[in-house]
């Protein structure tokens, strides 16, 4: 092989390596972006569900405690009136 053939082979190898590295980096970035999007969506869904459950449970517990108080007061008034 003469020097020109060696230079051509080296240039071809370098170009192939650069193209492979660029393709791998692009694929990794796309995969990581998709994974991050999915994880963020799942975390947002979980947070929304937890907030809804907490709000519903707190509102139902406060309304049930109000009902208990009303029953207690009506019971006391009923006993006191008779």
pLDDT of residue 9: 95
pLDDT higher than 80, residue 61: no
For residue 60, the model assigns a pLDDT of: 75
Provide the number of structural domains found in the chain.
Answer: 1
Q: pLDDT digits over 5-36, tens only? A: 999 999 999 999 999 999 999 999 999 999 99
In the predicted model, is pLDDT for residue 38 greater than 70?
A: yes
Range of the domain at 71: 1-82
The DSSP call for residue 82 is: -
CB atoms within 10 A of CB 3: 7
3-state secondary structure of 78: helix
Which residues, at least 6 apart from 1, have a Cβ–Cβ distance to it below 8 Å? 9
Q: Is the pTM of this model over 0.75?
A: no
């Amino acid at each position: 092989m003469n020097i020109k053939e060696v230079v051509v082979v080296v240039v071809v190898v370098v170009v192939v390596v650069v193209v492979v590295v660029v393709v791998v980096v692009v694929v990794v970035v796309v995969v990581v972006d998709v994974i991050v999007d999915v994880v963020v969506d799942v975390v947002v869904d979980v947070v929304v569900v937890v907030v809804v459950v907490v709000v519903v449970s707190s509102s139902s517990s406060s309304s049930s405690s109000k009902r208990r108080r009303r029953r207690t007061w009506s019971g006391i008034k009923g006993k006191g009136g008779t």
